[in-house]
């Protein structure tokens, strides 16, 4: 067993850390969040570094980056904020899925537009009545020969309102029974007639933003179908583990940065004539948190290793997502206690971390759903 990073991986991490320091330090991420900004320098900077092509195989026009390398970037971006990490991760998964299952024309689109960072992808799976129970989706795409006619409503489509974005939309093309059949994946241009996008007001995650998408008699050409009609459930599952593992990187970076910030504060801030970090109650809580972060990191790196070996990692991916997301919530909660009144001020980065962290155990599959998966892998039946 070897825990060391290669020289290239160390260099990649150093580059990503410098990128965050130069382009999106946490204070700037907080400002962007408050202004609901679309920071071009962030997206262009990531594209210039070649990160959007990193996960694709070299023979496909990419750079053959491993899951661990994607985690390393996500961790560093997560130090700025999880939302910043999602500005990167959010494009990778639908890009990889489209490339794997798509037609030749769709592959050219991914290679020329998405890998170069000129164009983004967002995912619309959830609906107002279906979140965890994703396969119960109802948005209907009626087969009209050379096109589909789409009607329905999507919810929580993150990044779907940004310019130059295509929405990877899961729709029902077949009967609702069996539940996981009859689902298809369409690439939808949000500027198509009949589509309306409404931004959902949220506590945080304002850079990418999340949206409701309304479809009224929307014509989507047949060539926009990704993978086989009615079989998109397996298309969606094909990158689910990778998604869980990379987003865990974002949580880890955010949790570590939160701890680093409270640690520094605890060494500077004095009470009763000594730094507050020397009070054992706070010192032990921070020691526990570092232990928790390291545990989550090891879970994520193990899952990344399994993925790189082509081995199954459903259970390990869920463990990583569960522990990583809960650790970020715990870190932000402790950060508020350590920074106390200073943290509660909305001028503080800690208050931003607190707002942002709370949704970690919800988006990307809730903690309960991760625990269900882990329990199932142990032979326990859950509902």
Ligand X SMILES: Cc1cc2nc3c(=O)[nH]c(=O)nc-3n(C[C@H](O)[C@H](O)[C@H](O)COP(=O)(O)OP(=O)(O)OC[C@H]3O[C@@H](n4cnc5c(N)ncnc54)[C@H](O)[C@@H]3O)c2cc1C
> Which residues contact ligand X by CB under 6 A?
123-126, 131-132, 156-158, 205, 210, 359, 362-363, 365-366, 368-369, 372, 383
Question: Residue 87: which of 134, 131, 31, 45 has the closest Cα?
Answer: 45
Residue among 172 and 297 whose Cβ is closer to ligand X: 172
Whole-number Å distance between alpha carbons of 319 and 229: 32
By beta-carbon proximity to ligand X, the closer residue of 113 and 366 is 366
Tell me the residue nearest to ligand X as measured from the CB.
131
- Closest distance to ligand X from the beta carbon of 126 (Å): 3
Is the Cβ of residue 89 or residue 289 nearer to ligand X in the bound state? Answer: 89
The minimum distance between CB 284 and ligand X, in angstroms, equals: 30
Minimum CB distance to ligand X, residue 248 (Å) = 16
Residue 138, H or E segment: none
Element (H, E) at 324: helix 314-344
Distance of CA 159 to the CA centre of its chain: 11
Which CB atom, from 157 or from 319, has the smaller least distance to ligand X? 157
Nearest-approach distance from CB 362 to ligand X, in angstroms: 5
CA-wise closest residue to 160 among 115, 203, 126:
126
- Give all strands (DSSP E) within the chain, no chain letters: 120-124, 140-143, 147-158, 165-172, 183-188, 195-199, 210-221, 225-226, 270-271, 274-275
Q: Distance between CA 136 and CA 124 in Å, rounded?
A: 14
In whole angstroms, the minimum distance from the beta carbon of 314 to ligand X comes to 16
Q: Which of 188, 182, 78, 177 is nearest to 123 (CA)?
A: 188
Beta carbon of residue 237, minimum distance to ligand X (angstroms, whole number): 14
- What lies within 8 Å, CB to CB, of 75 at 6+ separation is 13, 16, 85, 249, 250, 252, 253, 256
> At residue 76, what are phi and psi to the nearest 5 degrees?
-65, -45
Q: Which is nearer to ligand X, 139 or 266 (CB)?
A: 139
Calpha distance 24→16 (Å, rounded): 11
Q: How far is the CB of 78 from ligand X (least distance, A)?
A: 15
Q: Shortest Cβ distance from residue 244 to ligand X (Å)?
A: 12
Kindly give the pairing relationship between strand 120-124 and strand 165-172. parallel
Residue 333 CA to residue 350 CA, distance in Å, equals: 9
CA angle 138, 141, 145 (to 5 degrees): 160
């Amino acid at each position: 067993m070897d825990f060391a990073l290669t020289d290239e991986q160390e260099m990649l991490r150093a580059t990503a850390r410098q990128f965050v320091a130069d382009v999106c330090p946490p204070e700037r991420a907080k400002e962007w969040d408050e202004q609901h900004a679309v920071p071009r320098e962030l997206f262009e900077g990531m594209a210039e570094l070649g990160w959007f092509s990193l996960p694709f195989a070299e023979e496909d026009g990419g750079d053959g980056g491993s899951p661990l390398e994607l985690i390393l970037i996500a961790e560093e971006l997560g130090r700025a904020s999880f939302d910043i990490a999602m500005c990167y991760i959010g494009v990778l998964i639908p890009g990889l899925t489209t490339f794997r299952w798509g037609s030749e024309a769709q592959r050219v689109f991914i290679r020329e537009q998405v890998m170069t960072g000129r164009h983004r992808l967002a995912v619309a799976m959830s609906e107002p009545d279906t979140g965890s129970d994703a396969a119960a989706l109802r948005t209907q795409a009626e087969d009209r020969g050379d096109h589909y006619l789409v009607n329905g409503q999507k919810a929580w489509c993150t990044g779907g309102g940004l310019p130059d974005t295509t929405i990877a939309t899961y729709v029902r093309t077949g009967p609702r029974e069996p539940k996981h059949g009859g689902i298809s994946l369409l690439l939808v241009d949000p500027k198509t007639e009949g589509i309306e996008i409404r931004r959902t007001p949220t506590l945080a995650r304002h850079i990418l933003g999340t949206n409701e998408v309304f479809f009224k008699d929307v014509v989507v050409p047949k060539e926009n179908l990704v993978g086989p009609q009615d079989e998109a459930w397996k298309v969606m599952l094909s990158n689910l583990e990778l998604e869980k593992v990379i987003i865990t990187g974002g949580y880890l970076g955010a949790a570590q940065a939160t701890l680093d910030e409270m640690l520094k504060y605890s060494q500077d801030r004095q009470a009763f004539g000594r730094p507050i970090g020397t009070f054992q109650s706070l010192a032990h809580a921070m020691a526990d948190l570092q232990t928790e972060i390291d545990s989550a990191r090891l879970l994520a790196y193990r899952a990344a290793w399994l993925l790189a070996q082509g081995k199954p990692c459903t259970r390990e991916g869920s463990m990583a997502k569960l522990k990583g997301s809960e650790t970020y919530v715990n870190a932000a909660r402790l950060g508020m206690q350590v920074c106390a009144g200073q943290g509660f001020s909305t001028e503080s980065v800690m208050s931003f971390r607190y707002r942002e962290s709370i949704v970690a155990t919800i988006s990307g599959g809730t903690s309960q759903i991760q625990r269900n998966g882990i329990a199932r892998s142990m032979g326990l039946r859950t509902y």
